[in-house]
Amino acid sequence: MMNRKISLIIFLTFLSTAVFTQGIRDSVFRVPPVTVTTVTIFDKEEAGMKESVVDSVTILEKINLSLSDLLSENTPVFIKDHGRGSLATASFRGTAPSHTQVSWNGININSPMAGMVDFSLIPVYIIDELKIMHGTASIADRSGGLGGSINISNRPDWNNRLSGRYMQGLGSYTSFDEFLQLNAGNSKIQSKTRLYHNYSKNDYTFINRGIGNIDPQTGQIVNPVDTNNNAAYRKYGLLQEVYFRPGNRDFLSVKYWGQHASRTIPRVTSYEGPDNSNLNSQSDTDHRLLADWQHFDGGSKLELRTGYTFKQLNYTFKNIVHGIGLLPVIQSASRQSSFMNKAGYSLETDNKLSFKASLDVNFYSVNTRDSVNNSGYRGQRSEFSVFFALQKEIAGLLNLNMMLRRDVIDKNFSPFIPYLGFDLRLLQKHELILKGNIAGNYHHPSLNDLYWEPGGNPGLQPERGYSYELGLEYRALIPRHQIRAELTAYRSDIANWIIWIPSYKGYWEPLNIKRVLSKGLEVNISSAGKMGIISYNISGSYACTSSLNYGESHIWGDESYGRQLVYVPLHSGNLVIKLSYKGFSLGWQHNSYSERYTTSSNDISRRDRLYPYFMNNLSAGKELKIGNVMLSGELKIYNIFDEDYRSVLYRPMPGRNYMLIIMIKF
């Protein structure tokens, strides 16, 4: 109740200020009138690479969601979601969560402890630009992205003087979203401040497929209706950005992102004990600080960047003991810190030749301890990475891109990581490009993989892979319309794949699989323009992802050999349609996922496999200008057909639910 009162006071204060403030910005909820312009896709710096950029309109429309929702609804990245507000990890091109590298303004934010990112903890609020590098294109950022990389960026608006916005969201399951942004500056200096808060009791009902009761009259098994108890979550944070441009040659920026998240984790649905028999909770506190300097001189650029990240993760699991109460079974505290530095230089000559070189020096430290079991570990890692790239454009028809990276991990030299890519222009008028690449990659075990107690395996071998990719990209400009299509086929052969499995010792431990073969097909199609007085934007994607285990059959058994990896859908796709007319907007989104297996044998006779599901969301909005203030309102309906689905075994997702968002901008 106190948070709601504070939110109301902030809203009224902000409203009274905004009414008298000059400067209107475009609405979040309307698909703006489309101005068709020529944007080249023939860039030698990106030759052979597949990149996906989530447009700014989509980012603003998803502003109240987490990055996990944005990725699952608008990209080929499959998100393994443990429930609304719970852990969400990525499977990019059929790879493991640690095979997707994530950066924020150029610094890596993957956990040095687990090697992955929980995308449910990244709010879309803090994102200005989102770029996805598919497969080996991620080598341009760093090594280890066997699936790809995801890059989050923030940018200044040098034309801004004073602007801001406040958003209030109210949704199902006692959910509240609040967001405040203030921007101020001039042509020399810019400041952007963002504050956000999310809360949800998250107590949705569902059909519990993990428990069955026998109907005494019919003898049939009936699944009861259950409630997602002990699942509340809260998240609040601050992002402060300062940009300084003293002259035409220099650009400096400092950014700080702090966040605290707490959540209780519900029991799995197969549990049949009393509701209050245990308590499972987790809190995450993150601090990220980044400073960047860029100097431009003709065709050259020198960049220096330094960043520091700190994470405190506390996890508690308590069981009830009759006569005593809840006693902790697990009470762990982990501290993770990263210190990252980069120096880079690039040069572009007049003969359409460019050169890049960079040096990364990173240090990581982890300290984790379970006070109940008196277990844990301290681990450190140093990383040095040298990168070279040479790009050449030939006669406006062919681009060549050669990259080479080499890492030194704890004084151990990794093999060279090569990349060779090309773009061949087949048609000039409508930009039809044939592109392809061949590359290697290299991924080191995380500190948990090596040192976790109990189960860590210091003898793990690094994962090594070679990938091949070929695709066609097409873009056509028709009066009042723009069409883009892309078709990509890839194959990635990965040796020493790391997987955690139950051991005979009574706990899980990581082992190397001899070989995993990941191959697939990706299709992306989009069109934007105007039909009469109606603006439209239509986009769709489809991915066929085969990720097969080819480990040692005498160790793993014939049941898993040649089978699809668990939780990787063979088929997935999405379709988005947005329409706007005179301030009104209407949007529909569809997502589909094929069957996923929860066992390495892909046993279709088991009840615990995850069936296909089809998700549909609907949104409708309206914007209204009052003086110098723009008011926007939007109603979002999620899962409009009340689909019963799960992304992870025994972790149900919500049925039909609603969110009403009101935004004021000046």
What are the tens digits of pLDDT across the range 328-344?
A: 889 999 999 999 999 99
Instruction: Please determine, for residue 2, whether its predicted confidence score (pLDDT) is greater than 60.
Output: no
- What is the average pLDDT across 177-194? 96
As a whole number of angstroms, the longest Cα–Cα distance in the chain is: 85
Ramachandran angles phi, psi of 607, nearest 5°: -80, -15
Reported as a pLDDT band with limits 50, 70 and 90, residue 103 is very high
Give CA torsion, residues 424, 426, 429, 433, to 10 deg. -50
Domains of the chain: 10-169+315-665 (2.40.170.20)
Let me know how long the chain is.
666
Report the range of poorest mean pLDDT among 78-82, 96-100, 631-635, 645-649. 645-649
| pLDDT the model gives residue 647 | 87
| pLDDT the model gives residue 3 | 43
Report the range of poorest mean pLDDT among 219-233, 336-350, 584-598. 219-233
Residue keyed to tokens 């082992």 = 511
| pLDDT the model gives residue 598 | 86
Angle at 410 (CA atoms; ends 405, 411), nearest 5 degrees: 75
- What is the average pLDDT across 572-595? 93
Q: How does DSSP classify residue 650?
A: T
Report the range of poorest mean pLDDT among 414-418, 594-598, 654-658. 594-598
Percent of the chain with pLDDT over 90: 67
Reported as a pLDDT band with limits 50, 70 and 90, residue 272 is low
Instruction: Please determine, for residue 610, whether its predicted confidence score (pLDDT) is greater than 90.
Output: no
Instruction: Please determine, for residue 318, whether its predicted confidence score (pLDDT) is greater than 90.
Output: no
- Residue with the bigger pLDDT between 640 and 12: it is 640
Name the 3-class secondary structure at 7.
Answer: helix
- What is the average pLDDT across 430-457? 93
- Residue with the bigger pLDDT between 158 and 39: it is 158
Name the 3-class secondary structure at 567.
Answer: coil
Q: How does DSSP classify residue 111?
A: -
- Residue with the bigger pLDDT between 247 and 307: it is 307
Report the range of poorest mean pLDDT among 48-62, 79-93, 270-284, 567-581. 270-284
Bridge partners (DSSP) of residue 161 are none
- What is the average pLDDT across 92-110? 95
